[in-house]
């Protein structure tokens, strides 16, 4: 648990200086995911939890606007865990290095068939 506290502090330092908002939360999530990847002692689910907890702390500390804070807290609770899973899966399948057409073919095979 102490290791995770240290990790959270390091991750918070990674995003210091950036203004957190609904417009860039996905970008900041990706940045945190890239940084947490290097911690070999944590399992994948633990890494995901650290990213989610870190974002929750950052939202609580960095945002003054209660409306935006509420929106981002709901996003973190309801959407972010599934988004992280999707990003990890896409990375494992190698989709980030493939062409747009190849990605569409994998994601939507019916829509690309010639009629």
Going from N- to C-terminal start, the domains of the chain cover 2-107
**Looking at the predicted structure, is the pLDDT value of residue 74 above 50?**
yes
**Looking at the predicted structure, is the pLDDT value of residue 33 above 70?**
yes
**Percent with pLDDT over 70 in the chain:** 73
Give the span between the Cα atoms of 88 and 44, in whole angstroms.
9
What's the pLDDT score for residue 81? 93
For residues 9-25, give the mean pLDDT.
75
**Looking at the predicted structure, is the pLDDT value of residue 50 above 60?**
yes
**Prediction pTM value:** 0.71
Give the relative orientation of helices 80-92 and 66-78 as an angle to the nearest 10 degrees: 50
Give the span between the Cα atoms of 55 and 59, in whole angstroms.
6
């Amino acid at each position: 648990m102490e290791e995770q506290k240290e990790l959270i502090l390091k991750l918070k330092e990674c995003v210091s200086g950036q203004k957190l908002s609904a417009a860039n939360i996905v970008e900041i999530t990706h940045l945190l995911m890239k940084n947490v990847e290097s911690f070999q002692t944590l399992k994948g689910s633990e890494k995901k939890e650290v990213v989610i907890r870190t974002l929750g702390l950052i939202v609580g500390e960095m945002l003054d606007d209660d409306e935006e804070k509420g929106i981002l807290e709901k996003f973190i609770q309801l959407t972010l865990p599934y988004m992280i899973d999707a990003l990890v899966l896409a990375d494992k399948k190698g989709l980030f290095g493939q062409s747009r057409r190849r990605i569409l073919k994998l994601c939507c095979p019916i829509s690309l068939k010639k009629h």
